Amino acid sequence: MSRYSPYQVVHIRLNQLENWPTCTTPALYFFWWHQRALAHVWVEKNCTQANFQTQVLAACSKAQGWNIEGIANWEELIAAIQSLTPLLSEGQEQSVSVVICTRNRRDDLKKCLDQLLLSIQERDEIIVVDNAPDNNSTASLVAQYSNVTYVLEPRKGLDIARNTGAKAASNQIIAYTDDDVQVATDWVDSIRHAFDDPMTMAVTGLVIPQSLETRTQYIFERYWGFNRGYQKKVFDKAYFEVMLPHGVPVWDIGAGANMAFRKAAFELVGFFDERLDVGAAGCSGDSEIWYRILASGWNCVYQPMAVAYHQHRKEKKALSNQLYHYMRGNTSSLLIQHEQWGHEGNLKRLYTYLPEYYWSRIKERIKHGYKENFGSILTEIRGCIAGWRYYQKVKLQPRIAELQIAPILYTPVEISSNSLVSVIITSYNYGHYLEQAINSVLQQTHVAKEIIVIDDGSTDQTQELLAKYPLVSSFRTKRVGLSWARNIGTVAAKGQFLVFLDADDYLLPDALEQNLQQFAAKPLAAFVSGAHLRIDDGGNFIPHPEAPYKFEDNYLSLLQGNYIAMEATVMYRRELFFHFHFNTQLEACEDYELNLQIARHLPVFSHREFIAVYRIHKKNMSANQERMLKAAILVLEQQLGQTQNEAEKAALATGLANWKIHYQNNP
C-alpha cells in the first residue's frame, strides 16, 4: 500500500475571482457562488492547469445539468452560474429548534455550538441532549451558554436521544445535527425556508468534509460520503411508487448529521424507531423514518443550500466499526419496513440485490486485486448478518407512543371577532361543485377566515376554477386520498380554528359564527359540532333526523355510533393537530376515527344549530355501503385495546351492533 498524501479541502468562491483559480495537489475542491455550492472536483498529483479547468467545467456541468459544449471560457462559466434559478423560496418564517445529541465529546460540542450560534435567530432554540454520559463535562459546558437548553437522557441510544430532543422542542421545525459537525452561518435559515411546501415533512442538506488528513477519512468521503449533489431534490409519492418494487433507497435522501422535520411529522408517522439504535441494530433510524414519511404520502426534500461540515473519523478501526453498524442498521431497517408496510421490495433488496452487490465486489477483488474500498467488504457482510439476527429478536415490538397532549388544550379557548378560522376544502374532480363550496365560505358572516383548497390530483376543471379566486390558497397533490389531503391542509392552515369541508358540500352563511359562539359557551371543548341539512343532486332539501345536544360522555356516545354524521359541521381547535391527524390507512370513516381519538382524551360539545349542507349524489363515498360498514367496524375494533372500563366496553359492543343494523336498514 502506497504512502498516503493528505488531501487539502479547498473552497473556491468564484464570485470573488476574475479568472480561473490555480490548482494545488492533491486536493478536494469545492466551488461556490456566494453561499451556493456548485460542484466539487478531486485533484490528484501532477494535475495540469488545463486539465484542472476541464475538470471544473465538467463537474459544474454535471452537477447543475448544463450542456458543457456551450461553456468554453471563464466568462461563459460565470454567465451560466448567474443564470441559475434560486434553490430557496421565501417560505414561511417559522422558528426552528436545533437538537444536538452528544455523549462524552465536550471539545467537539463546543466547536459545534460556537458555530451554530452564528446561524440562529433570537426566536430559535438550541437543545443539547446529553445521552448517557460518563461524567458531567457536557452539562458544565452547556451551562456556559445562556441560550442553550440542556436535557439529560440516561438511556443510551442515538434514536432515544433524538426522540427526547423532539419532545423537548417548542418550535414546529426540529433540526438535527451532530456534535462533530459545524454548520454554515445560513444553515438554520436554509432549513427554515426549505419547508415552504406543506407536503414537506423532512429536509436534508449538503454535508462536506472538514478535513481529509488521513487515508481513512479519504476512503469514507470517496466511497461512503454524505454528499447528495448540488441540486434540490424532492422525494415524493411518485418517486416512492417507482422505487417500491425494488426497495426504496431512502438512504439516498441525506444524512442524519444534517436533517430536519416538521414537529407534525412525529405525530403523523411516529418517532424514531429505537430498535435501530447504535449498539442495538445499527444506525438507520434516520432513513427508516424517511421511509415512513414517504410511505404515508408526504415528501422529503434534499436542499443543498443547507450546508454542514462533518469531521470524518480519522482511525481505520473507527471507520470499520461505523460501516459495520451502517450495514447492521440497513438490514434491520429493511426488515422493519417490510414488517410495518408489507412492501416486498425491501426483501428483494435484502435477499437479492445486497448479495449480488457483495458478490460483484468480491469478484472484482479477485480479478483486479486490492483497491482501497475493498478492505471493508467482510466487515459490511458481518454487519448485514448481525442486523438480520438482531431483527429476529426485536421484530413486532411496537415503537414508542405519541407526544403527550399540550397543556394549552386543557385551558379555556379565547374567542373574538378576530379569531381566524381556516376552512380546508378537499376536492377530487368536483370542480362543478367547488365554486359553491368556496362561495359559501366567502359569504360567511364571520369575517376573519382563510380558505385552503387541496386539489387531490383532479383531472377536471378544478385548476381553471381556482384561478378565479386569487385570495384562496390552493395546493395540488398527486392523488393521495382524503385523509392525506386533509392532513396537508392542517399543515398549511394558520387559523386558531379549523373546519374541513368537502367540495361537494357547502356551509350555511352563519356556520363559522355559530360554532364560535358555541366555543364561547363551552371554552374547554376541543371541538364543537352541529347539525346539517341534506339535499339531492338537484338542490332539493331532504328530511333529516334532529341532531343531538351533547357535552358529557361524548366518547361513549361516539362508540355507540357516529352522531356527528357530517364532518363539515365540526370546528376544531388548531392545537389538536399537533397531536391528532386523519388516519391515512383508512379508506373511509377517517373523521369518525379522529373524533373518537379526540373525545377519548378531551371534552367535546355537540349542538343542534344547522351548520352545513350535505349533498347526496351517486359519487358520495358513503354510497358504498359495504366499504363504509367495513371501515366503521375497523375503527371500533381499533378502540378495543383503549377501552378502560365496563361502560366503554358495553358502548363499543353496542356500536358494533348499531353499525350493522344501520347498513342493513339503509341498503
pLDDT value of position 647: 87
Instruction: Please report whether residue 528 resides in a domain.
Output: yes
Looking at the fold, whether 253 and 305 belong to one and the same domain comes out as yes
Instruction: Please report whether residue 234 resides in a domain.
Output: yes
User: Coil, helix or strand for 612?
Assistant: strand
Chain-centroid distance, C-alpha 405: 20
Domain boundary among 82, 117, 146: 82
396-404 long-range Cβ contacts below 8 angstroms, 24+ apart: 396/339, 397/275, 399/270, 399/271, 399/273, 399/274, 399/275, 400/163, 400/270, 400/271, 400/274, 402/266, 402/267, 402/270, 402/579, 403/166, 403/167, 403/266, 403/267, 403/578, 403/579, 404/167
Looking at the fold, whether 45 and 147 belong to one and the same domain comes out as no
Looking at the fold, whether 468 and 577 belong to one and the same domain comes out as yes
Looking at the fold, whether 16 and 130 belong to one and the same domain comes out as no
Instruction: Please report whether residue 310 resides in a domain.
Output: yes
Looking at the fold, whether 101 and 76 belong to one and the same domain comes out as no
What cell was used for 554?
361524548
Instruction: Please report whether residue 512 resides in a domain.
Output: yes
For residue range 258-280, what is the model confidence (pLDDT) as tens digits? 999 999 898 888 899 988 875 54
Looking at the fold, whether 217 and 273 belong to one and the same domain comes out as yes
For residue range 491-526, what is the model confidence (pLDDT) as tens digits? 889 999 999 999 999 999 999 999 999 999 999 999
Total domain count, the chain: 3
pLDDT value of position 59: 86
What cell was used for 502?
368537502
Looking at the fold, whether 462 and 596 belong to one and the same domain comes out as yes
Looking at the fold, whether 42 and 163 belong to one and the same domain comes out as no
Contact at 8 Å (CB) between 282 and 329? yes
pLDDT value of position 77: 83
Looking at the fold, whether 560 and 425 belong to one and the same domain comes out as yes
Looking at the fold, whether 55 and 184 belong to one and the same domain comes out as no
Instruction: Please report whether residue 656 resides in a domain.
Output: no
Looking at the fold, whether 74 and 104 belong to one and the same domain comes out as no
What is the C-alpha to C-alpha distance for residues 80 and 116, in angstroms, rounded to an integer?
A: 32
CATH number assigned to the domain comprising residue 138: 3.90.550.10
pLDDT value of position 175: 99
Domain boundary among 268, 293, 314: 314
What is the C-alpha to C-alpha distance for residues 25 and 409, in angstroms, rounded to an integer?
A: 62
Instruction: Please report whether residue 45 resides in a domain.
Output: yes
Instruction: Please report whether residue 381 resides in a domain.
Output: no
Domain boundary among 82, 116, 135: 82
Looking at the fold, whether 446 and 542 belong to one and the same domain comes out as yes
What residues in the chain have per-residue pLDDT under 70? 1-2, 67-70, 88-92, 278-282, 370, 373-374, 396-404, 545-553, 621-624, 664-667
Instruction: Please report whether residue 270 resides in a domain.
Output: yes
Structural domain for 47, as ranges: 8-82
